[in-house]
Amino acid sequence: MKVRIALFTLLAVSGLASVQRLHAEETSPQRVTVTYDHPERFTETREEKALAPTRASNAYLQTLKTYIEKQGAKQLAPGQRLELVITDIDRAGSFEPWHGGQLREVRIIKDIYPPRIDLNFKLLDADGKVIREGTRKLRDPGFLTSNTAPTSDDSLRYEKRLIDRWLRKGPDKL
């Protein structure tokens, strides 16, 4: 009987610890936060509205935000946090409405339309002290000759690679 009680107590305590750990993870601050500063003013938004009004959508922003949060968290040391404020995005490619017809609202990918992302960042330690902060203008003028598979169907593949290249430098060199 004592063995059963001890086993039950052990299971209850370990289960409680798991629940407490899960609750702590859910309530702890996110390791990477991404905010957009006036996305309606982004180059991408303005161009889509002007050149391809039926395609104009900011849906890509949530996808990109989720991607950056996930990839950024992989690069941080325990306790570190990264806060990003994206101030401008111009996705790879552009619209060339002079082609007319159905091509009017097709994104044309050429080397003269490289991806661009401008951002401000703060890297914080576990105590909330700023380790590093700054402004970055991410560019990839050789995006078509880089190692992204041309058959990839991810419409944000060039922007994601831009972010990956910056994050891979590691927290010490952001």
- Per domain, the residue ranges of the chain are 1-29, 31-173
Question: What percent of the chain has pLDDT above 90?
Answer: 56
Instruction: Say which DSSP state 107 is in.
Output: E
pTM, whole model, 2 decimals?
0.78
pLDDT given for residue 16 in this prediction:
46
pLDDT given for residue 41 in this prediction:
94
- For the record, the structure tokens of 2 come out as 């004592």
pLDDT given for residue 101 in this prediction:
79
- The b/e string for 13-33 (b: 16+ C-beta within 10 A; e otherwise) is eeeeeeeeeeeeeeeeeebbb
* 70 and 84 Cβ atoms separated by less than 8 Å: no
Position 57 pLDDT exceeds 70: yes
Among 42, 48, 156, which Cα is nearest to 104's? 48
**59-75 and 157-168 are packed helices; what angle lies between their axes, rounded to 10 degrees?**
20
Position 50 pLDDT exceeds 60: yes
Q: What angle do CA 81, 157, 131 make, to 5 degrees?
A: 20
Which tens digit of pLDDT belongs to each residue from 80-129? 999 999 999 999 998 887 887 778 778 889 999 999 999 999 999 999 99
pLDDT given for residue 113 in this prediction:
95
pLDDT given for residue 146 in this prediction:
77
